[in-house]
Amino acid sequence: MADNGTMQEQPVPTNYTLPGGENQTFIHIIFDDPQLEGLEILDFDNATAAMAENVTGMENITGMENMTGMNEVVAAGRKNVEVSINNFAFNPESVTISTGDTVRWTNLDSANHTATGSTFDSGILQEGESYEFQFTDAGTYEYSCLIHPSMRGSVIVEEK
């Protein structure tokens, strides 16, 4: 808002793209004397899968690579589970998902790592890089880092 109280018509770039290809508009409101009683505060650091249960249509959203606290996001009935690679460990070490769900590994270490199982291989992930794999068959998938074999994890895939 300009000093005279009128809205400025200059969009702020957000790096978020909507499914139709439009850029997401950023709206910033400042209150001189905030009286914000009764508003629901979005707490992404403590978000749970149940909170995201009915979220759909998020398959093509980009620019959210650095969001934290959202370990599981549901899109069109499929779950995306985040596994971080940090301090030479997979966290969480074991995840349980359903067929059709996707696991995304993100390397937060400065050292290179891999997430390699019998049916998937991330290749070398440098710091900040991610790899995702959709599991279509039920079973238990053990995996490790080929560079640091003591780093181990598992994905348990249950039939929907």
Question: CA 127, 19, 135, 118 torsion: positive or negative?
Answer: negative
Q: Selecting from 3.40.50.410, 2.60.40.420, 2.60.120.380, 2.60.120.1440, what CATH number does the domain 77-158 have?
A: 2.60.40.420
pLDDT along the chain (160 residues), means of 10: 57 61 60 52 47 45 45 60 98 97 97 98 98 97 98 96
Kindly report whether the global pTM for this prediction surpasses the value 0.95.
Answer: no
Taking a C-beta distance cutoff of 8 angstroms, is the pair 114, 123 a contact? yes
Cross-strand pairs, 107: 85
pLDDT of residue 104: 98
What does the radius of gyration of the chain's CA atoms come to, in whole angstroms? 20
β-strand 152-158 against 130-134: which pairing, if any?
A: unpaired
Cα–Cα distance for residue pair 117/95, rounded to 1 Å: 14
Per domain, the residue ranges of the chain are 77-158
Closest CA to 158 of 142, 139, 145, 143: 139
Cα–Cα distance for residue pair 78/72, rounded to 1 Å: 10
